[in-house]
Amino acid sequence: MKAVVNIYLKEGVLDSQGKAVHHALDSLGFGESVADVRIGRQIVLKLNSKTEAEAREETTKMCEELLANTVIEDYDIEISNV
């Protein structure tokens, strides 16, 4: 099983990295095309779980315990059978 976890800052939390990249894109001449930039992490896990439900449960536990900082971050999990 493969789990893809996308972790991103909650709405309203200042994304300073995104602001910096937005500014850099401005300097490179993309100012007119870009309205906003947000930056998150994508974690790809190869799991030994047998079922999709088990994989999702394990991945959720990992997110809560280590991968995401749930005070300021949200996450979503996609499980696929590859």
71 vs 75, beta carbon nearer its own copies = 75
Residue with tokens 């047998």: 50
Our finding on whether 45 is near its own copies (CB under 8 A) is: yes
CA pair distance 39, 44, nearest whole angstrom: 16
**Residue from 42, 71, 81, 82 in contact with its own copies (CB under 8 A):** 42
| CB-based contact 80:44 (threshold 8 Å) | no
Question: Which residues are near its own copies by CB under 8 A?
Answer: 6, 8, 18, 21, 24-25, 28, 30, 32-49, 58, 61-62, 65-67
